[in-house]
């Protein structure tokens, strides 16, 4: 019975998508009665073994295509295996959690729809939407009027496209922090993907680099476009890609923000060490502190040192090469640089002081530890020249 309960909890969407597949690919699932679409809000479920009940709060339903068109958790990838199908969405999949495959049947009453069920020891439970007319619902079992489902392929050519909805605008540009488990390319023109490679706390700058071509799965990025409309920010969802996620990406992605008890899956926001994409006080784009409690689902954030400024300007230029230890910027590391750093620490007036270069150990602070690093560089250079 426990095996069945686990199956019921984690294979809900796999059963829904079993029959109407045109090969492996991406789909959305829509209820015939409520007209709501299924979305994946967590990779956990609350299970009551004594009553054989399952809380499917991780699997919810949303009314209106306009509310899910840009939501990665409404996109389900179905992969056929010899034994059945596997559901994949936002970093989770059914088989890795339960090790089991299930089946579905055509609806006897609704043309083109299907009914999903799981059985064990003669017990049958159909998967249904919550039977009410609200804009949101939670998947449940055995509701007679809401257990018929449609399976709709996601394409870039019709009304079932995936289109990004930017959240920030500056001038003529629109931006979105984005994190999805599927690889993709841009179908619409004038769209670009960026990731952060370096944070300079002394200059208050986050440097980013463009990611050209196909975007690998599970790669946190910043999307820049020239339109705020989903229909003008379409994606091509890819079954696979040879692209590799960049190893120097400093952004961190978050799939879920679900606070429901026992299926909780969220990342608490820490304003000391986290920055989120936003508009700076001067109106430009960058990373800012926020009053949010948790990182939004399907978003990404930037980890920063505790001494980072409240705002970090986003630079689309490559960072300049820095000779760390060269505090006066004369092109060499010598005793003069030690004197410059000592004067800075003592708060004595100095000219031509390069704070970034003076931070010799690159920890975001200028103190005695940097002097030690500079002295070591001078001594090592002297040893090498004597040899």
239's CB contacts (< 8 A; 6+ apart) are 24, 25, 77
CA dist 116 and 107 (Å) reads 9
Mean pLDDT of 47-67: 71
What pLDDT score was predicted for residue 2?
A: 46
Q: What is the pTM of this model?
A: 0.80
Backbone dihedral angles phi then psi of residue 104, each to the nearest 5 degrees: -135, 175
Quickly count: other Cβ atoms within 10 Å of residue 82's Cβ: 5
Full 3-state SS string of 171-202? CCEEEEEECCCCCEEECCCCEEEEEEEEEECC
Of 54-63, 151-160, 311-320, 360-369, least confident by mean pLDDT is: 54-63
CB 309 within 8 A of CB 318: no
Confidence grade of residue 47 (pLDDT, cut at 50, 70, 90) = very low
How far, in Å, are 194, 206, 310 from residue 313 at the CA level? 14, 6, 10
Confirm if 73 and 179 have CB atoms less than 8 A apart. Answer: no
- What letters, b where the CB count within 10 A reaches 16 and e where it falls short, cover 329-351? beeebbeebbebbeebeeeeeee
Stretch 3-26: mean pLDDT: 57
Q: What is the pLDDT of residues 177-234, one digit of tens each?
A: 999 999 999 999 999 999 999 998 888 999 999 999 999 999 999 999 999 999 999 9
Asked if 58 and 42 count as a contact pair (C-beta separation under 8 A), the reply is yes
pLDDT score at 119: 60
Alpha helices for the chain (secondary structure H): 2-10, 12-16, 94-98, 335-345, 355-358, 368-386
Give percent above pLDDT 70 in the chain: 84
Chain CA centroid to CA 355, Å: 34
Between 8 and 108, the more confident residue is 108
Containing 205, the helix (H) or strand (E) segment is strand 205-210
* DSSP secondary structure string for all residues of 268-314: B--TTTEEEEEE-TTS-EEEE----SBPPTTEEEEE--TT--SEEEE
The answer to whether the CB of 149 falls within 8 A of the CB of 114 is: yes
Spatial contact of 35 and 63, defined as CB atoms under 8 Å apart: yes
Question: Which of helix, strand or coil describes residue 153?
Answer: strand
């Amino acid at each position: 019975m426990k095996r069945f309960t686990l199956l019921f909890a984690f294979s809900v969407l796999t059963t829904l998508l079993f029959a109407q597949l045109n090969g492996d690919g991406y789909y959305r699932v829509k209820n015939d009665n409520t007209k709501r679409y299924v979305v994946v809000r967590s990779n956990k479920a609350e299970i009551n073994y004594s009553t054989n009940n399952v809380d499917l709060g991780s699997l919810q339903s949303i009314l209106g295509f306009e509310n899910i068109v840009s939501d990665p958790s409404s996109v389900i990838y179905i992969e056929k295996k010899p034994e059945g199908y596997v559901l994949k969405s936002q970093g989770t999949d059914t088989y890795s959690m339960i090790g089991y495959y299930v089946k579905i049947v055509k609806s006897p009453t609704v043309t083109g729809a299907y009914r999903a069920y799981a059985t064990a020891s003669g017990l049958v439970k159909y998967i249904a939407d919550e039977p009410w007319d609200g804009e949101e619902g939670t998947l449940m079992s055995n509701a007679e009027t809401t257990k018929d489902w449609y399976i709709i392929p996601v394409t870039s050519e019709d009304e079932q496209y995936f289109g990004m909805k930017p959240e920030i605008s500056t001038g003529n540009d629109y931006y979105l922090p984005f994190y999805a488990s599927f690889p993709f390319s841009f179908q619409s023109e004038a769209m670009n993907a960026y990731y952060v490679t370096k944070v300079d706390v002394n200059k208050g700058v986050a440097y980013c680099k463009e990611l050209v071509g196909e975007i690998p799965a599970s790669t946190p990025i910043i999307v820049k476009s020239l339109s705020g409309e989903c229909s003008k920010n379409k994606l091509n969802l890819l079954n696979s890609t040879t692209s590799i996620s960049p190893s120097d990406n400093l952004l961190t992605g978050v799939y879920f923000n679900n606070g429901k008890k026992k299926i909780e899956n969220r990342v608490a926001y820490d304003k000391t060490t986290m920055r989120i994409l936003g508009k700076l006080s001067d109106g430009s784009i960058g990373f800012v502190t926020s009053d949010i409690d948790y990182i939004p689902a399907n978003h990404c954030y930037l980890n920063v040192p505790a001494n980072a400024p409240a705002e970090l300007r986003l630079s689309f230029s490559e960072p300049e090469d820095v000779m760390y230890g060269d505090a006066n910027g004369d092109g060499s590391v010598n005793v003069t640089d030690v004197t410059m750093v000592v004067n800075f620490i003592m708060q004595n007036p100095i000219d031509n002081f390069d704070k970034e270069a003076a931070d010799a150990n690159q920890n975001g602070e200028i103190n005695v530890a940097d002097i030690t690093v500079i002295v070591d560089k001078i001594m090592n250079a002297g040893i090498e020249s004597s040899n």
